[in-house]
């Protein structure tokens, strides 16, 4: 979704803003722009272009064509008004003296626009953002106040979710930043300061960051940053150090971020798992939920979106099995509209890579309102979901840039399993021997993943056989069904092949009518207990002419080969952990298919990395 970057210092802002925007490209966007104030010309210059950032960068000779040492930049993902040069940000006030970049949505923009139009303010774009720029100028002019006061007055009028970066030609040494329900990060430099919606945009310049809280306003000059709370009282910001390396957010010789991130999974799993197993027991860092509280919990409720929801689906099977308490899983976008049965005895587990997904955030707040305790499993440190939870378990996957999640999914699953094991130990619901054997197997997962990754030729071969198909079905039972949901999503989102996942038992209730000569069915049969059932479903599909690519464990590979057209195998592990290994070939299959179809793998059409609108 949209991205914001801002810079104030002694260097030319243009190249810094464009570089920052290039690091936000992965989030998805349709146009880009910058506004820079030139001390020499004493004016703001605004440059915007629909399409790839490269178009803007070429227009500005990589930034060299704009003069000035203070500016804001934006990558837009259209909400109000189609992608166009005019609708791109920055949006300016009618005098051209105030420029605004904005992530989020101003919900009452139509009402405010009508009010301003009644006052004679002309509008040039269809955006909700222009309303903000015009409203600030309106207060500056009619109330004869400075920019900060005018921003404060405007904030009392606007409703919605927003992160704003504002510069004004009348007070040209400062950027004003505002945050409400949309992330914004302050970067502390030496003789310069930064603003960004995502730390990747500024990590090359500073690792010292402050996470703005909801309702906060910040004034950035090159000499410092002053923050204010929603009452405009000064507040001290805690400064955090970002400890991942710059190259973690770069391709490092790989053709695609997605492939790099698939290959990084063993390392990410080591970071997520190893520090959390000590002396044969699960150890959860800074775990503040008391044993008494955890013993009182009578229901777990997992809420998440997309792939994170798929992790929750596996969690339902695994946690119910080892805890023997009900585990509900809900799409976050449905949760708040379904009148969920949640109370103070419900532990709500929120799963999110970005920690900023709006639907997930809204579900979290609804669950809190209903009295639940919130435990979140999050990748992005300091993100909104992490900060609003009662307890956070970070996945430590490092920055994930490709839109299609891979290493975040794997580490979420690992952390959820660890949490389940921790609770099982506490509640005494799992035989001790099994508990220890799962932990031992968890420690082996990274090495087993490495085995799969070093032997990917088969997967590449199958991708070459099937990349021309237009429709694919994933089938499986139990955790294999939940795994199929993820395999199917991975394939469809990056290759644009129509793909659906079904619980195998459901085939005969409708979907089997779609199976005809040559239809590709990816049959997942890793769960030994249900292997025979998986085989029967494969036979069913083959009898209708379907082409079956199967995934199973090495133990069952030979048996599977007798029936399926193609078989991919994974090493054996404890049944609770099978999806952690099974997902890797599915990610690779999707990747190779998309590669062979010539798709834009890291930035699939219409998708954004972090979905901050409803
Ligand atoms: C798919 C994918 C999305 C995300 C979903 C939730 O590959 O990445 O489905 O899983 O948008 O995002 P987070 O986990 O950031 O809340």
Q: CA 414 to CA 173: how far, in whole Å?
A: 47
Domain shared by 443 and 463, yes or no: no
Q: What angle do CA 194, 261, 388 make, to 5 degrees?
A: 50
pLDDT, residue 176, reads: 98
H, E, C per residue of 134-179: HHHHHHHHHCCCCHHHHHHHHHHHCCEEEEEEEEECCCCCCEEEEE
Domain shared by 40 and 131, yes or no: yes
Count the helix, strand and coil residues of the chain and give each as a percent rounded to the nearest 5.
40, 25, 35
Query: Which stretches of the chain score pLDDT less than 50?
Result: none
Domain shared by 236 and 121, yes or no: yes
Regarding the beta carbon of 306 and ligand 1, being less than 6 Å apart is answered: yes
- 8 Å CB contact between 426 and 325: no
Q: Which residue among 1, 305, 496, 612 is best mutated to probe the pocket of ligand 1, counting the most ligand atoms within 8 A of its Cβ?
A: 305
Q: Which ranges of 6-85 does DSSP label H, i.e. alpha helix? A: 13-22, 53-59
Q: CA 362 to CA 370: how far, in whole Å?
A: 12
Q: What is the CATH number of the domain that holds 220?
A: 3.60.20.10
Domain shared by 318 and 438, yes or no: yes
User: Is residue 279 situated within a structural domain?
Assistant: yes
162 to 73, 107, 182, 213, 368: CA distances (angstroms): 15, 10, 5, 12, 22
Q: Which residue among 26, 353, 363, 410 is best mutated to probe the pocket of ligand 1, counting the most ligand atoms within 8 A of its Cβ?
A: 353
Give the nearest ligand 1 atom to 309 CA.
10
pLDDT, residue 30, reads: 87
Domain shared by 416 and 305, yes or no: yes
Is 251 among the catalytic positions?
Answer: no
424 to 412, 420, 590: CA distances (angstroms): 18, 6, 35
Nearest CA to ligand 1 atom 4: 306
User: Is residue 611 situated within a structural domain?
Assistant: no
Of 180, 209, 243, the position where a domain reaches its end is 243
CA of 399 to the centre of ligand 1 (A): 14
User: Is residue 588 situated within a structural domain?
Assistant: yes
pLDDT, residue 587, reads: 98
Regarding the beta carbon of 305 and ligand 1, being less than 6 Å apart is answered: yes
Domain shared by 179 and 218, yes or no: yes
Q: Could you list the residue range(s) of the whole structural domain that residue 361 is in?
A: 257-452
Give the nearest ligand 1 atom to 412 CA.
14
Q: CA 30 to CA 51: how far, in whole Å?
A: 5
Domain shared by 493 and 580, yes or no: yes
Domain shared by 70 and 143, yes or no: yes
Regarding the beta carbon of 354 and ligand 1, being less than 6 Å apart is answered: yes
pLDDT, residue 613, reads: 72
Reported pTM: 0.83
CA of 167 to the centre of ligand 1 (A): 33
Nearest CA to ligand 1 atom 5: 306
Domain shared by 448 and 461, yes or no: no
Tokens, residue 489: 């999503």
pLDDT, residue 603, reads: 87
pLDDT, residue 562, reads: 94
Q: CA 35 to CA 41: how far, in whole Å?
A: 14
**For the segment 514-543, what is each residue's pLDDT rounded down to a tens digit?**
899 999 999 999 999 999 999 999 999 999
Is 609 among the catalytic positions?
Answer: yes
The four Cα atoms 522, 526, 530, 534 give a dihedral, to 10 degrees, of 20
User: Is residue 544 situated within a structural domain?
Assistant: yes
3-state secondary structure of 309: helix
Regarding the beta carbon of 46 and ligand 1, being less than 6 Å apart is answered: no
Contacts of 347 (CB under 8 A, 6+ apart): 289, 294, 297, 299, 300, 301, 372, 373, 375
146 to 87, 136, 142, 224, 494: CA distances (angstroms): 27, 10, 11, 19, 48
Of 424, 452, 480, the position where a domain reaches its end is 452
> Which phi and psi (to 5°) does residue 570 adopt?
-125, 155
Q: CA 479 to CA 425: how far, in whole Å?
A: 22
- Torsion sign over Cα 61, 67, 69, 75: negative
Domain shared by 491 and 397, yes or no: no
133 to 107, 215, 529: CA distances (angstroms): 15, 18, 62
Of 278, 176, 189, the C-alpha closest to 232 is 176
What total number of domains does the chain contain? Answer: 3
Of 452, 467, 489, the position where a domain reaches its end is 452
Domain shared by 95 and 137, yes or no: yes
User: Is residue 602 situated within a structural domain?
Assistant: no
> Which phi and psi (to 5°) does residue 104 adopt?
110, -160
Regarding the beta carbon of 308 and ligand 1, being less than 6 Å apart is answered: yes
Q: Which residue among 198, 303, 308 is best mutated to probe the pocket of ligand 1, counting the most ligand atoms within 8 A of its Cβ?
A: 308
User: Is residue 608 situated within a structural domain?
Assistant: no
Domain shared by 282 and 381, yes or no: yes
User: Is residue 612 situated within a structural domain?
Assistant: no
CA of 482 to the centre of ligand 1 (A): 15
Regarding the beta carbon of 197 and ligand 1, being less than 6 Å apart is answered: no
Which 8-state DSSP code applies to residue 397?
-
Location of structure tokens 């038992």: 505
Regarding the beta carbon of 307 and ligand 1, being less than 6 Å apart is answered: yes
pLDDT, residue 298, reads: 95
Q: What is the CATH number of the domain that holds 580?
A: 3.40.50.10490
**For the segment 426-435, what is each residue's pLDDT rounded down to a tens digit?**
999 999 999 9
């Amino acid at each position: 979704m949209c991205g914001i970057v801002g810079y104030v210092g002694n260097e030319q802002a243009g190249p810094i803003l464009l570089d920052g925007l290039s690091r936000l490209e992965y989030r998805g966007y349709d146009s880009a722009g910058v506004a820079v104030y030139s001390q020499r010309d004493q004016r703001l210059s605004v440059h915007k272009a629909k399409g790839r950032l490269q178009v803007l960068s070429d227009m500005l000779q990589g930034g060299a064509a704009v003069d000035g040492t203070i500016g804001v930049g934006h990558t837009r993902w259209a909400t109000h008004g189609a992608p166009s040069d005019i609708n791109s940000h920055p949006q300016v006030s009618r005098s051209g003296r105030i420029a605004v970049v904005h992530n989020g949505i101003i919900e009452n923009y139509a009402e405010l626009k009508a009010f301003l139009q009644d006052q004679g303010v002309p509008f040039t774009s269809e955006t909700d953002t222009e309303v903000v720029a015009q409203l600030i100028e309106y207060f500056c002019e009619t109330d004869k106040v400075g920019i900060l006061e005018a921003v404060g007055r405007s904030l009392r009028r606007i409703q919605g979710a927003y992160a704003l970066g504002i510069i004004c030609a009348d007070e040209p040494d400062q950027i004003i930043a505002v945050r409400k329900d949309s992330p914004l990060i302050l970067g502390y430099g030496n003789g310069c300061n930064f603003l960004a919606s995502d730390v990747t945009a500024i990590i090359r310049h500073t690792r010292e960051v402050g996470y703005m809280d909801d309702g906060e306003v910040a004034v950035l000059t090159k000499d410092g940053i002053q923050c204010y709370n929603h009452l405009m009282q000064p507040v001290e910001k805690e400064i955090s150090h970002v400890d991942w390396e710059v190259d973690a957010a770069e391709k490092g010789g790989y053709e695609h971020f997605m492939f790099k991130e698939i290959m990084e999974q063993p390392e990410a799993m080591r970071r997520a798992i190893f520090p959390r197993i000590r002396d044969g027991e699960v150890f959860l860092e800074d775990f503040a939920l008391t044993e008494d509280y955890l013993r009182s919990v009578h229901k777990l409720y997992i809420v998440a979106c997309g792939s994170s929801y798929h992790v929750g689906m596996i969690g339902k099977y695994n946690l119910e099995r080892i805890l023997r308490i009900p585990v509900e899983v809900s799409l976050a976008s449905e949760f708040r509209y379904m009148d969920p049965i949640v109370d103070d005895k419900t532990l709500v587990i929120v799963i999110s890579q970005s920690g900023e997904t709006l639907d997930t955030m809204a579900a979290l707040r609804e669950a809190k309102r209903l009295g639940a305790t919130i435990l979140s499993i999050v990748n992005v440190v300091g993100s909104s979901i992490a900060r609003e939870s009662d307890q956070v378990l970070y996945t430590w996957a490092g920055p994930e840039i490709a839109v299609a999640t891979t290493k975040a999914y794997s580490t979420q699953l690992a952390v959820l399993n660890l949490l389940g094991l921790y609770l099982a130990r506490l509640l005494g619901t799992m035989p001790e021997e099994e508990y220890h054997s799962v932990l031992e197997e968890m420690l082996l997962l990274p090495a087993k993943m490495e085995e799969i990754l070093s032997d990917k030729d088969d997967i590449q071969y199958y991708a070459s056989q099937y990349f021309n198909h237009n429709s694919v079905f994933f089938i499986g039972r139990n955790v294999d069904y939940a795994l199929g949901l993820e395999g199917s999503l991975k394939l469809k989102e990056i290759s644009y092949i129509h793909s659906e996942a079904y619980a195998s038992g459901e085939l005969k209730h409708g979907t089997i009518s779609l199976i005809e000569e040559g239809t590709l069915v990816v049959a997942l049969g890793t769960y030994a207990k249900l292997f025979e059932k998986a085989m029967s479903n494969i036979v069913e599909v083959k009898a209708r002419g379907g082409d079956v690519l199967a995934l199973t464990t090495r133990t069952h590979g030979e048996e599977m080969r007798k029936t399926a057209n193609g078989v991919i195998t994974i090493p054996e592990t404890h049944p609770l952990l099978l999806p952690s290994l099974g997902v890797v070939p599915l990610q690779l299959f999707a990747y190779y298919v998309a590669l062979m179809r010539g798709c834009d793998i890291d930035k699939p059409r219409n998708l954004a990395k972090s979905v901050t609108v409803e």
